[in-house]
Amino acid sequence: MAQQNTIALIFDSDLTLTPYYMQKVIFDEYGIEGKEFWEEKRSYIQKIKESNKNKDVQDDIAYLNLILRYVKDGKFPGLNDKKLRELGANLEFYPGIPDFFDRINSIINHKNFKKHEINIEVYIITSGIAEIIRGSAIAGKVKQVYGCEFLEGEGGEIEEIISVINGSEKTRCLYEINKGPKYDVNTKLKEENKRIPFRNIIYVADGSPSDIPAFAVVKGEGGHCVGVYHPDKTYPHFKAIYDQMKRLNKERRVECYGPANYSEGTSISIDLEMLVKEIAENIAITQENILDQKPERKIIHMDS
């Protein structure tokens, strides 16, 4: 039986922790207009659809393939894992990050929670590039990053795609966190043997298409879903995200939502702190009940 005293705080990245898509740090480094890159990606997808009637290409694979093409064409010279981590240092986050992670951890410093060794683990599951996150200001706060990854070629530049995180992959990552690394994600386990039951999991995202399956899994398994949106709702794309969050909340697919500001006293910060405290209290109660149910140890005195 697993101890189940861990709370998993799982975040999407782009537009959830950052106010823009993380690929921007690559574009800025090499003087590429992001708008032109994303338009080229859309054209690439459309071209495949028109020339291959029975084939389609995933949005995430399309942008990763385009990055590889830019490397090959000399537009992203020297781009490799080391360079991606270096560029991660330029990644900007919404207000309150990374201090939020220290503040949320302070909740479990209460003596009753420490008694039961309750802890928090932060995970990132993103359709963005894992190495960028690993080089960012939050890297030291995160237990594990699930993201898209490349393989480097003999020339020292990225050359192949080895990992793509889309909607279905996000759900696979969730079950891996749920069951623990010692088990295959498809292994059927009893609830008491899962490392982090979904009731101890909080998933935070902006509600992009790849987040919807994750919301469904977490909510359906008894976990907690929180939505965020860019504070500037005047921009059409950000307004669409806000409208999406309203719908998801109305449909009860997210428990709460608010502008992506994680500073102390903001609505999202308060909601997440309350959820963490609620889960920690439930873990403590469960652990106390387990202790109460244990039979008293009998001391047998042996005659010498």
Residue 71 lies inside a defined structural domain of this protein: no
Residue 112 lies inside a defined structural domain of this protein: yes
Domain count within the chain: 1
Alpha-carbon span 79 to 150, nearest angstrom? 10
Angstrom CA distances, 154 to 25, 28, 78, 151, stand at 25, 26, 12, 10
Tracing tokens 């279905």 back to the chain, one arrives at 168
Alpha-carbon span 64 to 92, nearest angstrom? 21
Residue 64 lies inside a defined structural domain of this protein: no
Residue 160 lies inside a defined structural domain of this protein: yes
Task: State the CATH number of the domain containing residue 180.
Answer: 3.40.50.1000
Question: pLDDT (tens digit, 9 = 90+) per residue, 71-109?
Answer: 999 999 999 999 999 999 999 999 999 999 999 999 998
Structural domain that includes position 184: 6-20+92-293
Question: What residue ranges in the chain does DSSP mark as E strands?
Answer: 6-11, 119-129, 144-152, 158-163, 201-205, 224-229, 256-259
Strand, helix or coil for residue 93? coil
Sign of the alpha-carbon torsion through 27, 173, 221, 280: negative
Q: What percentage of the chain carries pLDDT values higher than 70?
A: 95
Lowest mean pLDDT among 120-129, 136-145, 168-177, 185-194: 185-194
Give the per-residue pLDDT at 13.
97
Q: Is the pLDDT of residue 298 over 70?
A: no
Residue 248 lies inside a defined structural domain of this protein: yes
Residue 42 lies inside a defined structural domain of this protein: no
Give the per-residue pLDDT at 294.
56
Which has more pLDDT, 21 or 302? 21
Residue 158 lies inside a defined structural domain of this protein: yes
Alpha-carbon span 280 to 119, nearest angstrom? 9
Which has more pLDDT, 301 or 188? 188
Which has more pLDDT, 298 or 240? 240
Q: Is the pLDDT of residue 289 over 90?
A: no
Residue 282 lies inside a defined structural domain of this protein: yes
